Amino acid sequence: MSEIVKVENLKDGLILARGIYLNSAVLFRSGTYVTSALIEDLKEKGVREACVEPDPPGPFQSFFLNKQDMPPHQSSSLTERFQNDMAVIADELRYGRILHSEVSYNWLHSVYLRLFSNPTVSLLMNSLKQWDPICYYHSVDVFVLCILLGHRLKWQMDEGFMLGCLMHDIGKLYTPCTILLKTGKLTEREFEKVKKHTVAGSQLLQRLKFPSMAAGIARSHHERLDGSGYPDHTSVSKERVMLRAIMIADVYSALTLNRSYRKPMHATKAMQILLNDCMRGKFALEECYRFINFISIFPPATRVLLTDGQVGTVLSSKNGSDILPKVKIQNRSKVIQLPSDLSLTVKKVIGWDNREMELQARQNWRDYLQNLIDGNPNQAMALLDELSDGKRIERVYTDVIEHSMNEIRQGVASKTYYPSDLPIAVNTTLTLLHWKMLKLLRHPVYNMGSVIITGFGSTGDSLQMKMMNDLLAINGWKTYLLGSSADTSMIADLIQRKGIRYLAGVLSGSDDRFTALSMYKTLIGQFSNLVLFIHSQEMPIFQGLSNDRILESSDLSGFIANLKKCFPVRHSAM
């Protein structure tokens, strides 16, 4: 018998007995698994009560039905589900020819139906689809890629492995959907919350008594060979060949499927990123080659062995086919277009030259700088997006925005650039940041406190103040950007009226040190709990006075580090 429970009394692991509606639209359907994240979401949306099943689901039982043993309605329903899922993910432009075999397709269909016939698997996957549809399709995609790869390689795949492939991201049921569905880049603090899905998923599967291999995959699929992954920062041994395959497939799927914050990436570019990660020690090169051979989509600059024994290099072609690329034959000027009748194909990848990718990255950087000093914000924005790919918001500001301005300043000093180039680049960058912030702060959440941003002295650095303001606002601070015109009385009045505890000041040079010091001593006399972020490229400014109330920085990395110091416990994930 179901029961009505106040939202504040809901517990992790219950099941919704009836759907929850908000403004006549379904929020969560009946049968959804209740997690702590879902409870918090209901509270934030003002839902007061929910109807739940009286008992949580029992432990996972290895109960699966083969297609021939299913009732007709169940077989029909799951087949329709399979076909709908495949329609979303199985694009030839990212799957190559892996589903061209009718035998492979039918085998995949039978495995899918078998796994989804299990009530607990169906319950959790349905809940994930409700919580984050994009993550659901990604999970199915990784499952398809990995078990088809295993089938091709004749691996002995038990249910624990298959369930782990399908449910590797089930821990995202515990990640706030405001983060999962965010349309902009994640902050470092948000990404730290996302990373917890590995442990949460493993603990959930362990609690429900899933096979240990499935729980292990949920925990470790973001580990890397060089120990740079998470949550345990452990190196994955060669013996764990299946987990290493999932690690690669997980990245490929995430890059090439639609995400809330970006469009799908081209398959060949995703493979280039994987290959580049191999060069950095994150994946094994031979295992990445194996995955590319399996997909049969070959990125530019890969050296390949053709089925006729010739060796060549895949050429890039905007109008060509990635499945049937052009290949330049080794030691010859001859270029072959692989035929559509498949009489000649690529047998396997045997090497990769990453110089083309490095040259393109350097060219993008040069073009970005040129568009800044030419005052072309539209062209610069496209390049900024390219240069920002894969970076957290904070890294975009430090690695791209700040670095580009430093390089232009140095160029002016060395007479590589003209003096007029710098102010033009500053104003172009300010335009880019304004456009970016319009997108990033569509639905601001201020949970870190309030802060005033000002410039100390007669002339303030508008770009430095803008960057500090953006980083504070993006990370949940309510900001008051006063610019360089504010005097002590104006700042004191704002602190008094708004109850502000934090002041961020930018110094353009050491000449403003006395003004800043005098202003701060006056303010600290009035507001004993005031904390000052002081930012100057000529650090230290307050030498001998710096403490936990005066936090100095000379670059944005230092400023971000100072933000982390403010809340070491309550906001440790910053």
Neighbours of 113 (CB within 10 A): 21
How far apart CA 144 and CA 398 sit, in angstroms, is: 38
Instruction: Report residues of the chain scoring pLDDT below 50.
Output: 568-574
Biggest alpha carbon–alpha carbon distance for the chain: 84
User: What is residue 142's predicted lDDT score, i.e. its pLDDT?
Assistant: 98
Q: Which of 427, 489, 491 is nearest to 453 (CA)?
A: 491
**Model confidence pLDDT, tens digit, residues 177-186:** 999 998 888 9
**Strand (E) or helix (H) holding 504:** strand 502-507
CATH of span 67-265: 1.10.3210
CATH topology of domain 3-52: Molybdopterin biosynthesis moea protein, domain 2 (3.90.105)
User: What is residue 495's predicted lDDT score, i.e. its pLDDT?
Assistant: 95
Contact call for residues 10 and 53 (beta carbons, < 8 A): no
Burial of 313 (0-12, 13-18, 19+ CB in 10 A): buried
How far apart CA 149 and CA 137 sit, in angstroms, is: 18
How far apart CA 247 and CA 251 sit, in angstroms, is: 7
User: What is residue 572's predicted lDDT score, i.e. its pLDDT?
Assistant: 35
Partnered with residue 503 across adjacent β-strands are 452, 532
Find where tokens 């403003």 sit: 512
Query: What CATH class does 274-353 carry?
Result: mainly beta
Contact call for residues 201 and 221 (beta carbons, < 8 A): no
CATH of span 450-566: 3.40.50.280
User: What is residue 260's predicted lDDT score, i.e. its pLDDT?
Assistant: 82
How far apart CA 350 and CA 310 sit, in angstroms, is: 12
Q: Which of 489, 523, 476 is nearest to 503 (CA)?
A: 523
How far apart CA 486 and CA 527 sit, in angstroms, is: 17
Q: What is the pTM of this model?
A: 0.91
